[in-house]
Structure 1
């Protein structure tokens, strides 16, 4: 049996994700924003403060990955850490002024890239795409939790 990559959901999804990420890197680099910062920027953009564990859970990444990401974000001035008044063993993470300034920039870039990616689809195809992707994600999340 020959595997045809264009008929592999995983391969095609991964290929599209790599192309999205490559474009994100290209457009965010001049702004000094790493695409890996996006989940944290969006999670904290409402002004909330979260623990590292809460951020890792929201971003669906492992703790060591979040530790490294937050270290780079702090170094680059996007976040600040403060003592957690409810738990002296942990800290809360908040966006800094630089972090808040980055959110609308990231949103514009994401919007532009999404428009580029979906420009050849009709409105019905776009709705279908999001519906199908939602079902795929739900199915895989259900498998991951069992």
Structure 2
């Protein structure tokens, strides 16, 4: 049997992710944000003051990747670091006022990119598509194969 990428869930999801990433980057660029910064901001908009470890674990990223992203975000004026009150080895990551002000426009930009993702689907199919993606993601995160 020959591999057919047009019938491979993995290949199709990979294509979707690549195309969506490019569209999301295009939508966020006028705000001066990268996709990586946006995902970190999304976490901090929900729970400002997280540690680097909490952010890395929550986003499923390596510590080094998170450290580099946070360094760029600090350089760009999006976050500040302050010593953790209960753990002298940790620092909490806090949003700047500018980053808090970006929440609505960045969310609109991301929603614009998401809208293109399933624009060809009728509403009911879009909901089914999102439900299926959520279940597949949860399954993969749990490590279940069947």
Q: TM-score range by the shorter chain?
A: over 0.9
Cα deviation 1:45-75 (Å, max 9, x = unaligned) = 1462010000001111111110000000001
The answer on whether the counterparts of 2:27 and 2:112 sit within 8 Å (CA) in structure 1 is: no
CA shift in 2, pair 1:64/1:112, >3 Å: same
For residue 143 of structure 2, give the secondary structure of its aligned residue in structure 1: helix
Task: Find the counterpart in structure 1 of residue 68 from structure 2.
Answer: 68
Cα deviation 1:95-117 (Å, max 9, x = unaligned) = 11121122212100111111122
Cα distance in 2, alignment partners of residues 46 and 16 from structure 1:
26
For residue 53 of structure 1, give the secondary structure of its aligned residue in structure 2: helix
TM-score by length of 1: 0.93
After superposing on structure 2, the runs of 4+ consecutive aligned residues of structure 1 that deviate more than 6 Å are none
TM-score by length of 2: 0.93
Task: Find the counterpart in structure 1 of residue 56 from structure 2.
Answer: 56
- The two structures, once aligned, show a CA RMSD in angstroms of 1.3
> Which blocks of at least 5 consecutive residues in structure 2 are unaligned?
none
Higher relative contact order (CA 8 A, sep 6+): 2
> Which blocks of at least 5 consecutive residues in structure 1 are unaligned?
none
Aligned residues: 144
